[in-house]
Structure formats: C-alpha cells, structure tokens
Amino acid sequence: SSAQLVDFDYYYFVVQWPGSYCDLQKACCYPLTGKPAANFSIHGLWPEFLDGTWPQDCDTSQTFDLEQVRDLVPELNKYWGTLTCPSSDSTKFWKHEWEKHGTCTGLTQHEFFSKTLALMKSINLGAALEKANIVPSDTATYNVTQVQSALACAIEEHTPGVECNIAKSGNNQLYQVYVCVDKDGTTLIPCPAYPNGRCNATVYWPTF
Ligand code: 5GP
Ligand code: 5GP
Ligand code: 5GP
C-alpha cells in the first residue's frame, strides 16, 4: 500500500492538561500504567490547512499496528497516555490518532510516533508557566495572554494556540495547547492560524 500524499500546510502539535480533561462532566480514568505525571501530555500531531480546515482518515488501509512502534511503547505510555474510561492501555488512543491524523502525514507509523515524542521531549510547557509564576491552582485565575506569553518562552517565542473547557464548577480553564510545527514535523513556526479555543480573558489552570 503506497503512502497517500496529502498537501497539508503545517502541523498542530496538541497537548492536553490532565487536570482539565479530568474535571469535566464526564469522568476520566487513569491508564493501566498508573496516574500520569502532573504535566501536559500528548493529544496528537495534526496536519492542518492554512484555511483552518484539515484532512483526516486519509488511508483506511494503514491500520494501526502496535508491532511497528513496539520500541516506543515505554515513552508512549509516559507521554501519550489515555484518560478515557474505562482504564485501559492507551493503544486505542494511539490507534485513533494514527488512523485519523497520522495517515494524512505521509509518514510511516514509526516516524509519526517518534517525531511526536521528540517534539514532546524538546518542549517543557509546564516549566515555562511555572517560571512565570503561573502554577496549577483551584483558586487563582490567569490572564490568558500572559499564559500564552509564558508558553511562548518554551517554543522559540512563537505564541501558541490555547483551548479551554468548562469545569463542573463553571470555571473556564486551560485544557489544550496548540504548538505550530512546520510540515517537516520538527521545526517550530509562528502559528499561521489559531483554533477557536473558547478561552475567556482570564482562565483557571486547575491542579491535577
Ligand atoms: P466546528 O463547528 O467547531 O467548526 O466543527 C465541529 C466539528 O466538525 C469538529 O470538531 C470536527 O469534528 C468537524 N470539522 C470541522 N471542520 C472540519 C474540517 O475542516 N475537517 C474535518 N475533517 N472535520 C471538520
Ligand atoms: P481527536 O479526534 O480530537 O484527535 O481525538 C479525540 C478522540 O480520542 C476521542 O474520540 C477520545 O475519545 C479519544 N481519546 C482517548 N484518550 C484520550 C485522551 O486522553 N484525551 C483526549 N482528548 N481524547 C482521548
Ligand atoms: P474549531 O477550531 O473549528 O472551533 O474547533 C475545532 C475542534 O475540533 C477542536 O475542539 C479540536 O479539538 C477538534 N479537532 C479534532 N481534530 C482536529 C484537527 O485536526 N484540527 C483542528 N484544528 N481541530 C481538530
């Protein structure tokens, strides 16, 4: 089966804050490998078009094959764990991300997962926030533009996209960060477009 060539323009490298995923109406569950670290974790590496649309499910013949990424599993568990219920190993999440987004990249499965892990390991978003005295808290609120400026310090001063969700309490809280990456899958770039992230001017960053 030949790799499908999709002429996407850039990537969103998307990470999630587990404290905000787990604070929604629907419950979260920790992966079988245990409670994840109190740090951002990988959601995915998504090919994007400049107009704000994106390709998905580009090659249904390339089903996820855990054997092709067997050597990466310890790091996938560490950085790319699932938070959906019931608790499971995270292979359904990896399968979903590969089949929906990965098959549009032109990369092999091994390249797709190893490039995404390399991005994760090279970027410490939590440390950048803490350096700016932005710490997880169930009471503090933060100016969202200050959050984005602090995050930019971790990604070569490029302002990332931010997405918020609504906690049970009603708080608007930082849920995901969108880092823009060149289609080489490695080079950080200024974001050509931002997702509609539903963040208020002031946001919570809850504990996990
Ligand atoms: P929205 O109304 O926020 O633009 O999109 C709602 C849902 O429609 C998204 O979560 C997504 O599932 C789907 N969607 C919107 N735009 C696109 C697109 O460009 N490509 C694809 N594949 N799905 C889209
Ligand atoms: P997306 O289509 O946004 O790339 O992926 C979201 C899908 O991955 C959802 O169907 C969701 O159920 C599944 N999923 C599994 N584990 C997780 C997780 O830890 N976080 C998120 N956001 N989605 C997950
Ligand atoms: P929008 O920015 O269109 O209002 O919302 C996009 C929603 O679709 C986000 O919540 C995002 O989590 C989801 N989504 C799932 N897959 C993709 C993707 O490949 N690209 C983008 N931009 N959003 C996606």
pLDDT of residue 2: 47
Residue 83 CA: nearest ligand 2 atom is 19
54 lines ligand 3 (CB under 6 A): yes
Contact 48, 8 (CB under 8 A): yes
Q: Is the CB of 49 under 6 A from ligand 1?
A: no
Looking at residue 5, its pLDDT comes to: 63
How distant, in Å, are the alpha carbons of 14, 16, 105, 174 from that of 160? 10, 13, 21, 12
- Total number of residues shown for the chain: 208
Q: What residue spans define the domains of the chain?
A: 10-124+158-198
Q: Is 59 exposed, middle or buried (0-12, 13-18, 19+ CB in 10 A)?
A: middle
- Residue 162 reports pLDDT greater than 50: yes
Residue 102 CA, distance from chain mean position: 14
| Average pLDDT estimate for 184-197 | 97
Give the model confidence (pLDDT) of 1-54 as tens digits.
Answer: 445 567 899 999 999 999 999 987 678 999 999 999 999 999 999 999 999 999
d(CA 43, CA 47) in angstroms, rounded, equals 13
Per-residue confidence (pLDDT) for residue 4, from 0 to 100: 52
Q: What is the pLDDT of residue 24?
A: 77
Tokens of 30: 């920790």
**Ligand 3 within 6 A of 195 CB?**
yes
Which ligand minimizes its atom distance to the CA of 195? 3
pTM of the model: 0.91
**What is the CB < 6 Å shell around ligand 2?**
16, 21, 43-44, 82-84, 93, 96-97, 100
Q: What is the CA radius of gyration of the chain?
A: 17
54 lines ligand 1 (CB under 6 A): yes
DSSP single-letter state for residue 33: T
Catalytic residues: 43, 97, 101
Enumerate the β-bridge partners of residue 204.
173
CATH number for the domain formed by residue range(s) 10-124+158-198: 3.90.730.10
| Angle (CA) 90 46 42, round 5° | 40
28 lines ligand 3 (CB under 6 A): no
User: ipTM of this predicted complex?
Assistant: 0.81
CA distances from 6 to 47, 79, 95, 100, 185 (A): 9, 27, 20, 13, 14
Of 51, 56, 165, the residue with max ligand 1 atoms within 8 A of its CB, to mutate for a pocket test, comes to 56
Pick from 43, 54, 178 the residue to mutate for probing ligand 1's pocket: most ligand atoms within 8 Å of its CB: 54
